[in-house]
Structure 1
Amino acid sequence: MPNTSARPKHGRRTRRRRREDPARNELVSSSLESAQQCLFSQDYGTAFVHYLLVLNLAPEFKDFATESFRFTLFKWAEELDSVGRIQDLFNCYEQALELFPTDEVILNNMGEHLFRMGFRDEAAGYFHKALKRRPDYPEARENFYRVANWLVERWHFLMLNDHGRNRKYQQAIQKAVQSGCNTVLDIGTGTGILGMCAKQAGAAEVYACELSKTMYELACEVVAANGMDSSIKILHMKSLEMEVPRDIPHRVSLVVTETVDAGLFGEGIIESLIHAWHHLLLPPQALMTQSEQSATGRVIPAGATVFGMALECVEIRRHHRLCVSEVGSLSMAAAGELRSPVSCSSEPHDSMEPYTTERLSRLPGGYKPLTEPFTALSIDFNNVQELEGLSSREVQQVRLPVTQEGKLDALAVWFQLHLDEESSISTGPQEDTCWEQAIYPVHNAKGFVLKPQDELIVEVSCLDAYLRLCSVAVVRDGHEIRLDKCQDLHYSENPISHANQEAELCSALACLQTDQNQTKDFCMVECSEMALLNNQDYHQSFCRALVKLISQLKLKCQNREQGAGVGSDLADPVNSTDRSDLLYVLDVSEGFSLLSLIAASQGQVKAYSSVEKNKQQEVLKRLAHSNNIPEQHLEFWLNYMDDEQGMLQRPSREELWSAIILDCIETCGLIRQKLMEKASLARCLLEEGGRIFPERIVVYGKLVESNTLLLESAVQGQEPTLGFNIAPFINQFTVPVHVFLDFSTLDCNHLSESVELFVLDLMDTNANYSNREVKVQATSAGRITAIPFWYHIYLDQEISVSTLSQNSHWKQAAIVLQQPLEVQAGDWVRLAVKIHKSTISISAYVDCVPGPMEY
């Protein structure tokens, strides 16, 4: 018998064959058969469990079962999503990724679910992994481009391209470190640039924190690439959660941060600095004894001064107030109070944002200052008592002399950020910086015209650590007219007598009561939806196209019934009870839409609306009643989606819809995802002669040279930013499609005429193509850096609306070329245009062979 304790020889071994396990094989076989049977019976949950068992016990089946497993996972995930079992859904994906950790399809789908749930950081990670696995995977590329705009916002690129701003921060940090601030915390580090400035200046210890997972990982890469990963500690957490000594060993002597938004306090700088002074920073110099002066704390920036100005601006007005009395022949008198989500008042509403942001210098139509700029507030970030007392400050009233006549549409706000006693950064509308301005739309002075010699009274407060500005009154001829009590103000030019003052008081009290009711019952619509309501051309075009179609279908119906010898009750649609007399229109527009109501107003039409919110449905019902539209001719079809017993009642005839209205273009300027799939489904649901609105979309574009688009799309130049290697890392998040453009105000040189790039036919699938080449002749010499594009939306062969029109609620988009293209006047440029699903891509080449335009 061999010596079993002897060591084996280190020779070549034969590979041990896996022992066959009959019980295991039988279980795998039966589970695989059960999975397929469950798939056939659409029991996706049980099928998924069987596949998990099979693939865990027998990994050799992975290649064979990949497609079936994916299909099962996606179907089961859809069911879990529909019933709100979100945790179970993500558990299933995690189990699937344990089996297929590099499957780009599963990774992409996981990302889509996360994005829909609002987890953008996590979604981006999955899209990025899918793209790394398969760089030519179009679905993952499209998703990553869309989410990258959320994760690494365009201002990051603008900020890093803003050399003046970067140098000022660098100099202020260098001065502070050299004066003795030897330990530094960078709050909201972003790319890590301010923390690296501190280390470069000689700080002994540098810490940084970042809440965004994407930016945290990016900062770690940047710091490591610059050889500082061993000397800068980056934490993935909010500064409010940091503690000494758990997260950093001791208090620091300097906090650097730029956690400020256009309204200064919107990113929580007050709360984070109060916490830092109490828990992370050494006490300020004012609280130190003479012997302790060498170890004091300070903040960069040291403080800020906020400025404001009243203005008139049609562009702001149409996004925040209803400015029309009719929408597509519908009287809006019964709509009640419609508000955008942005409204500042002395009594904040939880559902409202106090301000929005705009770059005033780029607003279409411009703006008119109605007052001189005024100082709204000053704050010292190195005074903790001042920071703590901000929210309890008394409401300040500022009286502003009116300098020009105009309608009061908004208050605009900007600030000067004082880095130290010598250096500052301004975010004013005339400055060439990466900053926008904060806009406080005025809702409570609808149509009120300010005049020179008037004084506008503005209240400034910080009740909840948000800066709030509210126009409350106008002083005219020595009398105060309250703006916060009445919605529609009419003011007599004559001096107010005692009797008139009493009448005005009674009127004000009546308005106050009305205002209280309206505040309680107002209906909120998004800013883009408000702009859409104000777009009369759009609704009139839809109205004309619907009237034409409905007239054609009514005539066809009459001829069909007369030919069959059947009497009809077409003359009295209100009293008609025969469902075959009705035409059916489905509006699947996103958000608040009146198109279903416009269709129902034509008579003999039953319209189905996609409006979901209860208050918005109530508005449509009131408008239907006031415009004499029978109640039974308007339905909200999404109300029935969760009710199996209350599914849509279909007409008796086999064909369903006379018209289906699709929402084709996103407000940002992109084609809606899965538009062509929706159009294919819609075509199958139309009655004979029915139509999809719109029936055709034509994409137009133009060659331009725009340094602005380059600066907003990537870090430019070969030189490192302040000597740091940042560009290669953040430019990973460069996307070729720039959205939310106002082409009319874009700073650019036009290098060609407009040209038709692509056509999407929603009614005729055979007319569509996936790629196209177009030749464009350059009209001027320059560098082609981008191709802005927009759409002509054809409701029928004759009626169209353009997303480029001045009163459009849509913005435009642009393809930004990776490498600018030099052209001379007369050169022909060949554009290779592709559309995959809903994503447009364009490549540009100078054509060596002259030729005509190709269509």
Structure 2
Amino acid sequence: MPNSGSSNSNGAAVKGKRSRRRSRAPREDPARNELVSNSLQSAQHCLLQQDHGTAFVHFLLALNLAPALKDLARESFRFTLLKWADELDGVGRIQELFDCYEQALELFPKDEVIVNSMGEHLFRMGFRDEAAAHFYKALKLKPDFPEAKENFYRVANWLVERWHFLMLNDNRRNRKYQLAIQRAVQDGCRSVLDIGTGTGILGMCAKKAGASEVYACELSKTMYELACEVVTANDMADSIKILHKKSLEMEIPRDIPHRVSLVVTETVDAGLLGEGIVESLIHAWKHLLLPPPNSEDVPVSIPSRTGRVIPAGATVFAMAVECPEIRRHHRLCVRAVGGLDLAAAGPIRGPVKCSGDADESSEPYTTERLNRLPGGFTALTEPCRVMSIDFNNPQELEGLCLREAAQLHVPLIKDGDVDALAVWFQLHLDQENSISTGPDEDTCWEQAIYPVPSHYSVKCTDELLVEVSCRDAYLRVSCTGVTSGSQTPHMDEAASAEVPSNPELELCSALAGLQTDHELPTQPFLLECSEIALLNNANYHECFQEALAKLFSFFQSRQSEVIEESGSSSSSGLLYVLDVSEGFSVLSLMAARLAPVRAYSSVEKQQHQALLRLLARENGVRVDALEFWLGHVEDDSAVLQRPDSEKLWSAIMLDCVEICGLLRQNLMEKATFARCLLEDGGRIFPERIVIHGVLVESDTLLQESAVQGTEPTLGFNIAPFINQFTVPVHVFLDLSTLECTRLSAPAEMFVLDLMDSSKNYSCRDVRVRVNASGRVTAIPFWYHIYLDSDIFVSTFRPDSHWKQVAVILQHPLVVSAGDWVRLCVSFHKSSISMTAVREERKEETAVH
């Protein structure tokens, strides 16, 4: 048989022979046709019997034997696959589930529905990067596919984190790096390795500066592919070699031919060391980088045979702050909510613990942009230098984690309550160029926040004791006490003194410690920061308490009428209440205190259940009044069902809004299920959600949402590639501190009715009057969550545990005061989208 890889003359001859052959119709194979027909019939029969697994096998056989039938059978095959995948997921047969998807994608590699569905299963199982890649692929296959679009918008952060946009828009930061790289290349650093290249901008700076060899590595598959696209678009694909791997896995000569003379990197986070820069640089100095100038391995006569790192080093600063916003997310600030005494729980703390004795699983810090925190902050100390580090000194890097913790005495300059230590750094790129991440700088960086776990008041005459260490390659900065005169009370002692003694509680805790029941954890109780902020949201709980009391009063009145009419009091009048809030919630406990109720909580963590039981006991709630619903159902997906075959729910409390400000996925579907499970007169809380928004002009939102042209990126063509990952909805927004100009008054945008589906719509036109001239760049929005017709909770309050969101307009809308803007507000599943059009003046005149 001729070989297609033969010489040109032979190849031409072969081609000529083939071109003269007459095409033949494929032979009919009666046996195969019969097998295909029988398999398709069997598949349809199994579907009628709801035997989706067997139907799937029959479809696979038929379509592999007869690919020409794929288009005809596509819809039935999809339906079968999705049903069978859900069944496999429900019983935990995960490997089989993904095997089915792989088989399906071999048949339909470009089917956006199958690709998107596989992404949804990946996301539910915690494989967020892989899920995001599938959603992105589905959207590429069909750009107007709403399910893939919504999924992609929700997980785009895992593909390309939002800080990439901010940093690429930070021209000052980019220019400083460019100048440092230019100087190093001019000094003789001709071979360069960019560690954690991201979009490839630093590697391209090195090449543009004249480096003869440029290598780059990137761990994220998405960012690696993006960097390859970017260097190709900038005509550097042949001169920059990009590797998809961690620098720690790189070897010579397998990955790069020899040691390089310069490493550039920005693998630093708000806490400087959190992205592993120390470990990667230690490895680089040992295996990838020429030795430093002061090394004994370098002859004095050959200075060019030395290596260096950009950044050359860093200086870390810290400052004690008083900040109500930080406090309410990390420490319980109220003693009671919704009629419940919380003091019985003892200390409750968040997951962030920065002290030297913290376990490795504890987060050492969180991050905030101090100058954007609602309510602001007060500096209680001057900024003080807590550490310096030389990235060009391998011995110093290796000894960093072995250093003993440093003890600092920091003078207080104001009276107040210490809520946290705010930490930032100055990144020394070289001797002339540096970048500061401080709160007073115009920077793309946030600051690292090390919260103080308990209430502690200080005087301006005191000194704060601060401990600094680098255990586990994390920078840990903690308050250990305050020096006041000759006394040094410690923070832990202050914390124990804050909670009044409760002998009964101490006895309960002691008895719990003697038992083997793992549901009773040792104190303190651990909650997420958002869960602590929720507990501190007194208005939220007061509104729920009032709405529940009204509902229970209605049921009790109706029960009394029934008793009067029948003359019988045989009915127990017991009400059934289900709380399906995400995370920790005390709503079920509040309900159990208000009326004869059997309250079911969906709280899942054993420690959280133990906390609710303790609060129930200390608040006089009967033992049998509180139950944990997930112990009664087979899996989380079945959480919405009847309490038992003879009962229906009196109230179901749905958690409708994510902390980030988005509506929860499948909200309306859950509400539909919930309505079917209510007894006559029962209610869903909330009953409706009203969405409010405002027109704003905000360059800040634009900077955080997309790269703005080539100017901030030093002329490199990066924006079109990374902007593929922009999303139209900006989450975790603090509207109260957003740098913006409001161009209209708040307006009602949309209404979702959870109790009456007939009142809902998918699209609504809203006319908004402009009251100031400018450019409409975004439409921030928030929710009024109505528990009944009169009582509502707003997600835009100073004490709200929710953030707000904003729709970013693809093209800013130029408007003048007095104009009308027509918004088309659409709702699909749980996603809100908006388009804006300015009405012409003549149209406005005709209307009025």
Mapped contact 2:116–2:134 kept (Cα < 8 A): yes
TM-superposed CA distance for 1:654, in Å, is 5.3
TM-superposed CA distance for 1:649, in Å, is 10
Q: 2:562 aligns with which of 554, 560, 563?
A: 560
TM-superposed CA distance for 1:853, in Å, is 14
In 1, Cα distance between the equivalents of 2:408 and 2:19?
92
Q: Counterparts in 2 of 1:117-516, with a 5 A limit?
A: 117-287=125-295, 288-443=298-453, 446-489=454-497
**Aligned residue number for residue 705 of structure 1:** 697
- Tell whether 2:117 aligns with 1:115: no
- Superposed CA deviations along residues 417-436 of structure 1, whole A, max 9, x for unmatched, are 00001110000001111100
How has the CA–CA distance of structure 1 residues 718 and 820 changed in structure 2, closer, same or farther, with 3 Å as cutoff?
Answer: farther
In 1, Cα distance between the equivalents of 2:523 and 2:22?
81
- Any stretches of 5+ residues in structure 2 without a counterpart? 1-12, 500-506, 515-519
Q: Counterparts in 2 of 1:500-579, with a 5 A limit?
A: 520-568=522-570, 578=572
**Aligned residue number for residue 586 of structure 2:** 594
**Aligned residue number for residue 575 of structure 1:** none
Q: 2:627 aligns with which of 619, 635, 658?
A: 635
In 2, Cα distance between the equivalents of 1:224 and 1:557?
75
Mapped contact 1:302–1:382 kept (Cα < 8 A): yes
How has the CA–CA distance of structure 1 residues 45 and 522 changed in structure 2, closer, same or farther, with 3 Å as cutoff?
Answer: farther
- Tell whether 2:650 aligns with 1:658: yes
In 2, Cα distance between the equivalents of 1:479 and 1:654?
66
**Aligned residue number for residue 622 of structure 1:** 614
TM-superposed CA distance for 1:13, in Å, is 5.0
In 2, Cα distance between the equivalents of 1:647 and 1:616?
18
Mapped contact 2:170–2:712 kept (Cα < 8 A): no
TM-superposed CA distance for 1:252, in Å, is 0.5
In 2, Cα distance between the equivalents of 1:776 and 1:67?
43
Mapped contact 2:132–2:158 kept (Cα < 8 A): no
Range with bigger deviation, 532-541 or 59-68: 59-68
Mapped contact 1:776–1:853 kept (Cα < 8 A): no
Q: 1:801 aligns with which of 771, 786, 793?
A: 793
Mapped contact 2:640–2:673 kept (Cα < 8 A): no
- Superposed CA deviations along residues 631-662 of structure 1, whole A, max 9, x for unmatched, are 11111111232389x99995678561111111
Which letter does structure 1 place at the counterpart of 2:578?
A: L
**Aligned residue number for residue 842 of structure 1:** 834
Which letter does structure 2 place at the counterpart of 1:843?
A: T
In 2, Cα distance between the equivalents of 1:96 and 1:720?
44
Mapped contact 1:304–1:415 kept (Cα < 8 A): yes
**Aligned residue number for residue 713 of structure 2:** 721
SS of equivalent to 2:245: coil
**Aligned residue number for residue 506 of structure 1:** none
Mapped contact 1:676–1:837 kept (Cα < 8 A): yes
How has the CA–CA distance of structure 1 residues 157 and 647 changed in structure 2, closer, same or farther, with 3 Å as cutoff?
Answer: closer
**Aligned residue number for residue 21 of structure 1:** 29
How has the CA–CA distance of structure 1 residues 651 and 341 changed in structure 2, closer, same or farther, with 3 Å as cutoff?
Answer: closer
How has the CA–CA distance of structure 1 residues 647 and 126 changed in structure 2, closer, same or farther, with 3 Å as cutoff?
Answer: closer
Mapped contact 2:191–2:211 kept (Cα < 8 A): yes
Normalising by the residue count of structure 2, what TM-score does the alignment of the two structures yield? 0.93
TM-superposed CA distance for 1:133, in Å, is 1.9
Which letter does structure 2 place at the counterpart of 1:249?
A: P
- Superposed CA deviations along residues 585-610 of structure 1, whole A, max 9, x for unmatched, are 11111111111111111121111111
TM-superposed CA distance for 1:39, in Å, is 2.3
SS of equivalent to 1:377: strand
Mapped contact 2:171–2:712 kept (Cα < 8 A): no
- Superposed CA deviations along residues 230-288 of structure 1, whole A, max 9, x for unmatched, are 11000010000001111111111100000000000000000000000001001111112
TM-superposed CA distance for 1:716, in Å, is 1.0
How has the CA–CA distance of structure 1 residues 725 and 718 changed in structure 2, closer, same or farther, with 3 Å as cutoff?
Answer: closer
Identity %: 67
Mapped contact 2:174–2:712 kept (Cα < 8 A): no
State the superposition RMSD in angstroms. Answer: 2.4
SS of equivalent to 2:194: strand
Mapped contact 1:700–1:791 kept (Cα < 8 A): yes
TM-superposed CA distance for 1:851, in Å, is 4.6
Q: Counterparts in 2 of 1:653-692, with a 5 A limit?
A: 656-692=648-684
- Superposed CA deviations along residues 499-537 of structure 1, whole A, max 9, x for unmatched, are xxxxxxxxxxx9xx99x9999433221111110000000
SS of equivalent to 2:461: coil
In 1, Cα distance between the equivalents of 2:654 and 2:377?
34
In 2, Cα distance between the equivalents of 1:461 and 1:20?
77
SS of equivalent to 2:780: strand
**Aligned residue number for residue 601 of structure 2:** 609
TM-superposed CA distance for 1:489, in Å, is 3.8
Mapped contact 2:456–2:494 kept (Cα < 8 A): no
TM-superposed CA distance for 1:155, in Å, is 1.3
Range with bigger deviation, 248-257 or 38-47: 38-47
Mapped contact 2:695–2:779 kept (Cα < 8 A): yes
In 2, Cα distance between the equivalents of 1:404 and 1:787?
40
In 2, Cα distance between the equivalents of 1:718 and 1:802?
40
TM-superposed CA distance for 1:562, in Å, is 3.5
SS of equivalent to 1:171: helix
Aligned residues: 815
- Superposed CA deviations along residues 36-87 of structure 1, whole A, max 9, x for unmatched, are 2332333322222221111111112212221221122112211222233322
TM-superposed CA distance for 1:769, in Å, is 0.7
SS of equivalent to 2:785: strand
Mapped contact 1:31–1:53 kept (Cα < 8 A): yes
Which letter does structure 1 place at the counterpart of 2:211?
A: A
Q: Counterparts in 2 of 1:74-113, with a 5 A limit?
A: 74-113=82-121
In 1, Cα distance between the equivalents of 2:145 and 2:463?
61
In 2, Cα distance between the equivalents of 1:531 and 1:802?
15
In 2, Cα distance between the equivalents of 1:554 and 1:61?
63
Which letter does structure 2 place at the counterpart of 1:554?
A: Q
Which letter does structure 2 place at the counterpart of 1:48?
A: F
Which letter does structure 2 place at the counterpart of 1:125?
A: A
Range with bigger deviation, 549-558 or 405-414: 549-558
Mapped contact 1:655–1:686 kept (Cα < 8 A): no
How has the CA–CA distance of structure 1 residues 465 and 804 changed in structure 2, closer, same or farther, with 3 Å as cutoff?
Answer: same
SS of equivalent to 2:294: helix
In 2, Cα distance between the equivalents of 1:522 and 1:71?
49
In 1, Cα distance between the equivalents of 2:595 and 2:138?
52
Q: 2:815 aligns with which of 810, 818, 823?
A: 823
How has the CA–CA distance of structure 1 residues 647 and 265 changed in structure 2, closer, same or farther, with 3 Å as cutoff?
Answer: closer
- Tell whether 2:776 aligns with 1:784: yes
